[in-house]
Amino acid sequence: MSKFKKIILIIAPFVLLYLFCLPRQLFRQPLSATLSTGDGTLLGARISDAGQWYFEPAATVPDKFAKCIVAYEDKRFWWHPGIDFLSIGRAIRQNLSRREVVSGASTITMQVIRLSRPDAPRSIPEKLLEAVLATRLELRCSKKKILLLYASNAPFGGNVVGIEAAAWRYFGRPADELSWAESAMLAVLPNSPALIHPGRARARLLEKRNFLLDKLQAKGVIDEVECELAKDEPLPDKPLPMPDKAYHLLERLRVAGGDKAYVCSIDPVLQDRVNAIAKSYFSEYHNNLVDNMGILVRSVQTGETVAYYGNTKGLAPGLRGADVDMVPAPRSSGSTLKPLLYAAMLDKGMILPGTLIKDTPYNYNNFSPHNFSREFDGAVPADEVIERSLNVPSVRMLERYGVPEFLELLQKMGFSTINRDADHYGLSLILGGAEITLESLVGAYLSMARDLAGDGETAESPLSRASIWLTFEALSKAGRPEEESSWREFSSGRKVAWKTGTSWGSRDAWSVGVTRDYVAGVWVGNSDGEGRSGVTGVQYAAPVLFDVITALPSSHWFSKPVDNMVPLEVCHRSGLPASRICPQVDTVWVPDITERPDECKYHRLVHLDAERNYLVNSSCYPVEKMVETVWFVLPPAMEWYYMKNHLDYRPLPPKHPDFDAFSDQGNPIEIIYPQNGITIVTTRSLSGKEQGVVVRAAHRDPTAVLFWHLDDEFAGQTVGEHDLLLRPEPGRHLLTVMDSGGASRAVTFTVK
């Protein structure tokens, strides 16, 4: 074997050892979870599992800090190979002359190696090993990368590691926004972080910082004025608390992805305003033992979340339920789904915006909803049903549309928590019988807004742009008179489509609002489900919503999607397609579909005597003297309630005494209560006496006398207001009512 080969065999192991002496990953510290915006604003942070503030390293070292740290720690950093032989010579000379260690010669590269080996002994052999590893690191990484490794892993006092965490901990902003004075202060900390922690030894810290600033001036990095101004800057008083502006969002991300750096679409200025709004309402609501709130705002243009307030965390010590994130929490929907049903029925041609919906007492399989005011209007235009959030007409609309079909629509719109079948929910689905989340509610309205704001070529919602526009127009009408709230109107004049909702027992107060650029949603209540008196969507959630909307940039309203709509002539009073006899016709824009409701059925041709006092026909009055006129006629029960709220409504005149009843059109009697087939549970007074049942009917002739029979036994007669108290025994009964002309109605019911 030649001498050369022997030398190779001897050297090769050392070369291999040198090449592989450096671990592939130098640092494996657990990260702090952080939440930042796209521009680097820190919204929140959590201390790492190692008990340190250790942020994910940035892409580069801020220029000011880089110049400061190189000037202070390693002035020949950019040129040496990891070892600064001139510094080593200086250190040996100084230490020998003073017979003690007064100066070191570690380069920044060597300090990176030392930081990566925290448990290694501080000895001469270890120093030699650091020097070898430093040269190897120089071969692997660029100078900028080495400087970044140092800046990201150096100690900055206490449990703060890395320049990014230090900048936020001491100055409350990103490292690349620090001044020369702030950068210089941080640059001197890693040299002896335990000795010159910002909370102690402030004089020495100030001395070292100013020494570095003078050094920067001497090197021409900063001028004299900059140096003096930097020296005038005070040191930070004490470490600052880390920002925590979106607590529940960060916790939600941590659960899903662990501790790491998260970047979100939150608008930091808007988030601050939303947090302040929530805080401003807390004291008032807390006085009524209402402790929790969720707020979510999303951009229509991008679909991104721009504000996320999960709950009232940190507003009071030990506040119940504050740890629960109310944005994804399932809660009873209240009335928030009604506009979606309205839009769906418009799309199917089942209604038009002004179609009259029956608003009279209703019972279906012993489900008897009532309006918030516990009053009935008889008949209400469909768009007003949505505007006023009336319960009974909404239930009738759902019954007509179909619960299975509506469930399918809701699931297409992202309500994943509504996952039972139609039999489980029944008609109560439209009144809060299902659970939704604030996230899914805002998402559904957002999909509609994005479709309406877009070009119509792509759709996120199963609803048409035309029906969405009509729905938003109905929701933009301010005021909820049925809620009996003093908080009625949004005074800024900004157009907003908004909807409130209140669950049974005042457990959940909802409000969702849509502008051209944003969708905002608010939930207020208690996360444990406790209801409180007076907690309604209008009184608790809507004020918060409109404060949030006021904090948003103003915007124009949606353009009418005329390419998806057609003009249609409708009856002014019924809202249905106008018939040839409707006296007043309006032109409205409706979805461009083939299906339409039947034409107006409420305007009828009637015949009166010459004095217009009686309804007549050929059996009682000469044909040549009859006066033919058009009359707006509602069915008896609808008419009975409608007249109370519409003073301009005129019931038909009574029939002529000789009128042949069998030639009349339709039955003039309608039994309002009880409805056919229901079960009634009667109550007793304090004395033990049976309270009985009040039965009610309506007759088209306000002067008619009605005769009541219970199980074929005469029970009494009524005139005008047809209410009668009965005391039926438990069991099944037949109730019959008739007028003097022979018209009659009958229902069966059961008493328990």
- Does residue 156 sit in the same domain as residue 200? yes
Separation of alpha carbons 42 and 61, rounded Å? 17
Separation of alpha carbons 374 and 641, rounded Å? 12
Q: Which residues, other chains included, contact 180 with Cβ-Cβ below 8 Å and sequence gap of 6+?
A: 64, 68, 213, 216, 222, 226, 227, 230
Name the phi and psi angles at 370, rounded to 5.
Answer: -140, 160
697 in Cβ contact with 747 (< 8 Å): no
Q: What percent of the chain has pLDDT over 90?
A: 58
Q: Which structural domain range is residue 745 located in? A: 669-751
| pLDDT for the residue 101 | 47
- Does residue 179 sit in the same domain as residue 120? yes
Span 505-530, pLDDT tens digits: 999 999 999 999 999 999 999 999 99
| pLDDT for the residue 200 | 64
What CATH number is given to the structural domain containing 193?
1.10.3810.10
Q: Please, which pLDDT band fits residue 435 given cuts at 50, 70 and 90?
A: very high
Estimate the crossing angle of helix 202-218 against helix 224-232, to 10 degrees: 170
Does residue 732 fall inside a structural domain? yes
Name the phi and psi angles at 595, rounded to 5.
Answer: -75, 140
Domain boundary among 616, 638, 663: 663
Distance of CA 663 to the CA centre of its chain: 59
| pLDDT for the residue 282 | 94
Domain boundary among 648, 663, 678: 663
| pLDDT for the residue 16 | 59
Q: CA 544, 451, 597: angle at the middle one, nearest 5?
A: 100
Question: What residue type is 38 in one-letter code?
Answer: G
Span 448-484, pLDDT tens digits: 999 999 877 788 999 999 999 999 999 998 564 344 3
Separation of alpha carbons 409 and 399, rounded Å? 15
Does residue 37 fall inside a structural domain? yes
Separation of alpha carbons 209 and 233, rounded Å? 11
Q: Please, which pLDDT band fits residue 485 given cuts at 50, 70 and 90?
A: very low
Q: Which of 480, 473, 483, 512 is nearest to 354 (CA)?
A: 473
- Neighbouring-strand partners of residue 671: 697
Separation of alpha carbons 504 and 398, rounded Å? 19
What's the whole-number mean pLDDT along residues 3-15?
A: 63
| pLDDT for the residue 456 | 76
CA-based end-to-end distance of the chain: 113
Does residue 214 fall inside a structural domain? yes
- Does residue 742 sit in the same domain as residue 656? no
* Whether the predicted pLDDT of 601 surpasses 60: yes
118 in Cβ contact with 153 (< 8 Å): no
The pTM is what? 0.85
- Does residue 706 sit in the same domain as residue 691? yes
| Structural element, H or E, at residue 381 | strand 378-381
Output 686 or 594, whichever has higher pLDDT.
Answer: 594
| pLDDT for the residue 550 | 92
Separation of alpha carbons 452 and 465, rounded Å? 5
- Neighbouring-strand partners of residue 54: 161
Span 73-111, pLDDT tens digits: 888 888 888 787 666 556 556 555 655 444 456 888 888
504 in Cβ contact with 330 (< 8 Å): no
Output 127 or 746, whichever has higher pLDDT.
Answer: 746
- Does residue 111 sit in the same domain as residue 162? yes
Output 238 or 254, whichever has higher pLDDT.
Answer: 254
Separation of alpha carbons 373 and 538, rounded Å? 14
3-state secondary structure (DSSP) of residue 166: helix
Span 129-182, pLDDT tens digits: 777 777 778 888 889 999 999 999 999 988 999 999 999 999 999 999 999 999
- Does residue 178 sit in the same domain as residue 93? yes
Does residue 548 fall inside a structural domain? no
| pLDDT for the residue 483 | 40
Q: Which residues, other chains included, contact 286 with Cβ-Cβ below 8 Å and sequence gap of 6+?
A: 316
| Structural element, H or E, at residue 51 | none
- Weakest mean pLDDT among 190-194, 659-663, 695-699: 659-663
Q: Which of 691, 717, 695 is nearest to 706 (CA)?
A: 717
187 in Cβ contact with 211 (< 8 Å): no
81 in Cβ contact with 73 (< 8 Å): no
382 in Cβ contact with 397 (< 8 Å): yes
| pLDDT for the residue 569 | 97
- Weakest mean pLDDT among 263-272, 382-391, 709-718: 709-718
CA 605 to each of CA 33, 616, 630, 643, 663: distance values in angstroms, whole numbers, following the listed order:
75, 12, 5, 20, 14
Distance of CA 214 to the CA centre of its chain: 54
* Whether the predicted pLDDT of 127 surpasses 90: no
What's the whole-number mean pLDDT along residues 270-277?
A: 97
Span 717-748, pLDDT tens digits: 898 789 999 988 888 898 989 887 667 888 88
308 in Cβ contact with 271 (< 8 Å): yes
Count Cβ atoms below 10 Å from residue 629 Cβ, excluding itself.
13
Number of H helices, E strands in the chain: 21, 26
What's the whole-number mean pLDDT along residues 8-29?
A: 68
| pLDDT for the residue 146 | 92
Does residue 138 fall inside a structural domain? yes
| pLDDT for the residue 94 | 57
Domain boundary among 203, 232, 261: 232
* Whether the predicted pLDDT of 642 surpasses 90: yes
CA 511 to each of CA 60, 166, 459: distance values in angstroms, whole numbers, following the listed order:
44, 41, 25
3-state secondary structure (DSSP) of residue 340: helix
- Neighbouring-strand partners of residue 509: 502, 524
3-state secondary structure (DSSP) of residue 422: helix
Count Cβ atoms below 10 Å from residue 721 Cβ, excluding itself.
11
- Does residue 607 sit in the same domain as residue 740? no
Does residue 391 fall inside a structural domain? no
705-710 and 731-739 strand pairing: antiparallel
What's the whole-number mean pLDDT along residues 556-568?
A: 95
- Does residue 649 sit in the same domain as residue 743? no
* Whether the predicted pLDDT of 116 surpasses 90: no
- Weakest mean pLDDT among 115-124, 578-587, 705-714: 115-124
| pLDDT for the residue 371 | 87
- Does residue 137 sit in the same domain as residue 155? yes
3-state secondary structure (DSSP) of residue 214: helix
Does residue 64 fall inside a structural domain? yes
- Neighbouring-strand partners of residue 291: none
Count Cβ atoms below 10 Å from residue 162 Cβ, excluding itself.
27
- Only one residue has tokens 């629960």, namely 324
Does residue 86 fall inside a structural domain? yes
Separation of alpha carbons 409 and 746, rounded Å? 38
Count Cβ atoms below 10 Å from residue 175 Cβ, excluding itself.
24
| pLDDT for the residue 720 | 79
Span 654-681, pLDDT tens digits: 888 877 654 445 678 889 888 888 888 8
- Does residue 617 sit in the same domain as residue 722? no
- Does residue 645 sit in the same domain as residue 711? no
What CATH number is given to the structural domain containing 724?
2.60.40.10
| pLDDT for the residue 241 | 93
- Does residue 101 sit in the same domain as residue 188? yes
| pLDDT for the residue 18 | 59
Give the total number of structural domains in the chain: 3
What's the whole-number mean pLDDT along residues 220-246?
A: 93
Q: Which of 530, 493, 536 is nearest to 515 (CA)?
A: 493
Q: What is the mean pLDDT of the chain?
A: 88
